[in-house]
Structures are given as C-alpha cells and as structure tokens.
Amino acid sequence: MFIEINFEAEQPIYSQIVHQIIGGIARNDLSAGESLPSVRALAADIGVNLHTVNKAYQQLKQDGYIIIHRRKGVTVHPDGPPIADEAFIESLKAELMPKVAEAACRNLQQEELMEIVRDIYNSFRGTE
C-alpha cells in the first residue's frame, strides 16, 4: 500500500489516510472493486492505532469511496467515487474559501492560484 504517514504534520493521521486513499483513487492507483488492507493490517503496516485506521475507513465509507463487507473486507466502491453534486460543490467551496482568502491576502495573483490548482488536478489525472 502506498500510504506514508507524517507523524510531525499538523494534519490528523486519520485525515492523512483518507486523503491518500482518495488520491490513490484519483490517480487510478486504486481501481473500483480493488481490495484494501484490513483495518488491522493497515494499522500494523503504517504503525498507527487500529482506531485511527477505522476512523479513516468509516469516513471513506460515509463519503462513498469504499465499501466495508463483514466477510469480504474493505474494497474501493465498485461503482467508483460518487459524482460531484451540489452538496459536494458547496462543501468544496467552504473548504477552499480560507485558502483562497489567504492567497489573496498574500498577493498571489488569480492566475498563479489557478495554475497551482491546475497542476494539482493534473498530477492526479496524469496529464502533467
């Protein structure tokens, strides 16, 4: 598995796991229906508490990225991630708002900001 945890980061560990799994799906490193390690196995692999991985998996399940089967284990959702709807777009705006405001306060030009976003998006889609 491709997950690397930065134990010194301000971002919570469960959140790092969530973002890296979503990133893996976005880059097609993880495909629909692909199995993920069990909570116990992933926790052992990356050296974190079981509850941390469980919290990450529950978040991913709630957001529609994975399915957790009692017998089959954890898999990437076979239908792929949910399509962006109005609620997602509103949530995205709310999350981006502080960073865009910070960029504006620091005199980052709109085109520079758009180029950063474009580069990040392209890094997930392999179109750099």
Distances (CA, A) of 5 to 9, 13, 28, 99: 9, 7, 20, 23
In terms of DSSP H, where are the helices of 1-128? 13-26, 39-46, 50-62, 86-105, 110-125
pLDDT at 128: 60
Tens of pLDDT, residue by residue, the chain (128 residues)? 689 999 999 999 999 999 999 999 999 999 999 999 999 999 999 999 999 999 999 999 999 999 999 888 999 999 988 999 999 999 999 999 999 999 999 999 999 999 999 999 999 987 66
Predicted TM-score (pTM) of the model is 0.86
Distance CA 94, CA 61 (A): 22
What are the backbone dihedrals phi and psi of residue 127, each rounded to the nearest 5 degrees, phi first? -115, 30
